[in-house]
C-alpha cells in the first residue's frame, strides 16, 4: 500500500506521510519499525474517525462525540456505529490491474477502504498480543495467511501455514496449548502490558550487548559468561 511514486495522489500513504511530515517513515520497514508502526496506527485511527463521521452524517469530531454521548446507552450507540463502519468500509480487495480496468467503482475510495481494513487487522493483532489472547492471535494469522499468499510474500505465507498446521493438526494437544499461550511475556505487570516472546528476546539481547560493551578492557569469555 506504500509507494514513493504516489506523492501527488491524495489519500495514499506516501502522500499522507508527506502532509504530516513524517520523514522517519521509510519504505523499508525494517530500517525504522517503530516509526512505521506509529504512522500506520495514526492513519488507521484517522480513517476510522472519517468513516465514523460518514456513517453518522456529521461534519467534525465534536459532533461525532455528541452523537455517541447523547445516547442513553453509550455502548450500544458506539457498537452500532462500529458495525456500520465495518459493513460499509472494511474490505480487503487487492485489486490487480485487470480488475481495476473493468471496475467502475471509485479507486480512491477502494484504496482507502483497503488501507482501513489492513490497518484495523494490524491493530487487532497488536491488541491481541498486548492482552495475551492466543485465540485472537490465531484468528489474525488465518487472515495473514491469505493476505501473504495473495500479495506474493511466500516466506511469511509459509510461516503462517506452519503455525496454523502445528496448532490444528501436527502438535499434541499439550504442546499446541503451550504454543498458543506461551507466545507472550509481561515483564512490567498489569493488564494489557504483554509483548511477544520474540520481542522480549530482542530486549534481552540488547541488554546483554550493552553489558558486554561496558566491560571495556575486561572483555573476557568468563566476564561475558557472567554477564549473560
Continuous H helices in the chain: 13-19, 33-56, 61-69, 74-89, 97-102, 107-131, 134-150, 154-165, 173-181, 197-213, 221-227
Q: State the pLDDT at residue 92.
A: 66
227: pLDDT confidence band, cut at 50, 70 and 90? Answer: confident
pLDDT in tens, 63-118: 988 888 887 788 888 898 899 999 999 876 654 444 444 455 788 888 999 999 99
Rg of the chain in Å (alpha carbons): 22
Question: Residue 38 and residue 45: Cα distance in Å, rounded?
Answer: 11
Tell me the β-bridge partners of 195: 185
Q: State the pLDDT at residue 140.
A: 95
- Angle between helix axes 107-131 and 134-150 (nearest 10 degrees) is 150
The stretch 6-16 carries a mean pLDDT of 93
Question: Residue 92 and residue 115: Cα distance in Å, rounded?
Answer: 8
Question: Residue 58 and residue 77: Cα distance in Å, rounded?
Answer: 15
Q: Which residue has the higher pLDDT, 163 or 77?
A: 163
Specify the residue for cell string 500500500.
1
Q: State the pLDDT at residue 139.
A: 95
Specify the residue for cell string 471496475.
103
Task: Share the mean pLDDT of the chain.
Answer: 90
228: pLDDT confidence band, cut at 50, 70 and 90? Answer: confident
Q: State the pLDDT at residue 72.
A: 79
Q: State the pLDDT at residue 93.
A: 62
119 has a pLDDT exceeding 90: yes
pLDDT in tens, 123-133: 999 999 999 99
Percent of the chain with pLDDT over 90: 73
Question: Residue 94 and residue 91: Cα distance in Å, rounded?
Answer: 9
Q: Single out the residue of 204, 186, 207, 203 nearest to residue 195, CA to CA.
A: 186
pLDDT in tens, 165-223: 999 999 999 999 999 999 999 989 999 999 999 999 999 999 999 999 999 888 999 99
DSSP string covering 135-159: HHHHHHHHHHHHHHHHTT-HHHHHH
In eight-state DSSP terms, residue 167 is: I
Amino acid at each position: 500500500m506504500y509507494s514513493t511514486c504516489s506523492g501527488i495522489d491524495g489519500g495514499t500513504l506516501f502522500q499522507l506521510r508527506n502532509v504530516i511530515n513524517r520523514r522517519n517513515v521509510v519504505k523499508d520497514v525494517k530500517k525504522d519499525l517503530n516509526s512505521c508502526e506509529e504512522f500506520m496506527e495514526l492513519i488507521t485511527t484517522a480513517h476510522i474517525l472519517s468513516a465514523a463521521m460518514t456513517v453518522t452524517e456529521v461534519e467534525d469530531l465534536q459532533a461525532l462525540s455528541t452523537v455517541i454521548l447523547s445516547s442513553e446507552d453509550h455502548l450500544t450507540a458506539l457498537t452500532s456505529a462500529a458495525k456500520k463502519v465495518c459493513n460499509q468500509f472494511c474490505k480487503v480487495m487487492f485489486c490487480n490491474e485487470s480488475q481495476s480496468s473493468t471496475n467502475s467503482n471509485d479507486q480512491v475510495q477502494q484504496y482507502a477502504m483497503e488501507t482501513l481494513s489492513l490497518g484495523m487487522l494490524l491493530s487487532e493483532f497488536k491488541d491481541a498480543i498486548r492482552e495475551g489472547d492466543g485465540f485472537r492471535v490465531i484468528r489474525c494469522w488465518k487472515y495473514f495467511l491469505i493476505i501473504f499468499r495473495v500479495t506474493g510474500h511466500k516466506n511469511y505465507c509459509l510461516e503462517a501455514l506452519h503455525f496454523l498446521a502445528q496448532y490444528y493438526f501436527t502438535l499434541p494437544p499439550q504442546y499446541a496449548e503451550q504454543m498458543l499461550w506461551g507466545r507472550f511475556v509481561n515483564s512490567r505487570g498489569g493488564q494489557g502490558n504483554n509483548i511477544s516472546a520474540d520481542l522480549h528476546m530482542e530486549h534481552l539481547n540488547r541488554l546483554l550487548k550493552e553489558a558486554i560493551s561496558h566491560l571495556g578492557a575486561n572483555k573476557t569469555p568468563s566476564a561475558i559468561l557472567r554477564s549473560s
